[in-house]
Amino acid sequence: MKIRKYPLLGSVVISSFLLLGACGDKEEVSEAPDKETAQSEFGFQSFELDVDTADQKDAIDASFDIDISETEAEYVNQLESKNLSGNDAYTELEPIFKEIALTKDMSKEEVIEKVTQAFGVEEYTEFELEVEFSDGDTQEFNDRK
């Protein structure tokens, strides 16, 4: 009597691929506009923010990135007990991005003021923001108090 091992192995491999295929990247945004629309609405294609307060390290952590194949978003606001990713994060971030309307020619002080107000941070101990503007120019805005 021959034991057939290969059909079982094949089933396991196929099941694994199906399972992995069903697991999407939780940060991926399916409802975001295309890259050109987002760049014209927000003025940037990448936004990485980290704000610490005296009471809370990583009080605000927001990231948004559009590339050719996908858009990703994450938003953690410990001041408001929010921990969002993907479409939920994008839904929260979109009006904030439109409100701050960042441009390359803004001063560091103006950028920090607009961003902290938009994200509801009155006082911070550390502010770190990296923005890649629509033309590919990347700027960093850092401050410690």
Whole-number Å distance between alpha carbons of 84 and 64? 12
- Where the chain has pLDDT below 70, the residues are 1-27, 31-35, 38
Strands, DSSP E only, in the chain? 44-52, 60-66, 71-77, 82-85, 126-133, 138-144
Domain-wise residue ranges, the chain: 35-144
The contacts of residue 38 (CB under 8 Å, 6+ apart) are 32, 45, 66, 71
Q: Which two structure tokens, joined as six digits, stand for 54? A: 């005296």
Statement: the pTM of the whole predicted model exceeds 0.85: no
Query: Cα 80 to the chain's mean position, in Å?
Result: 17
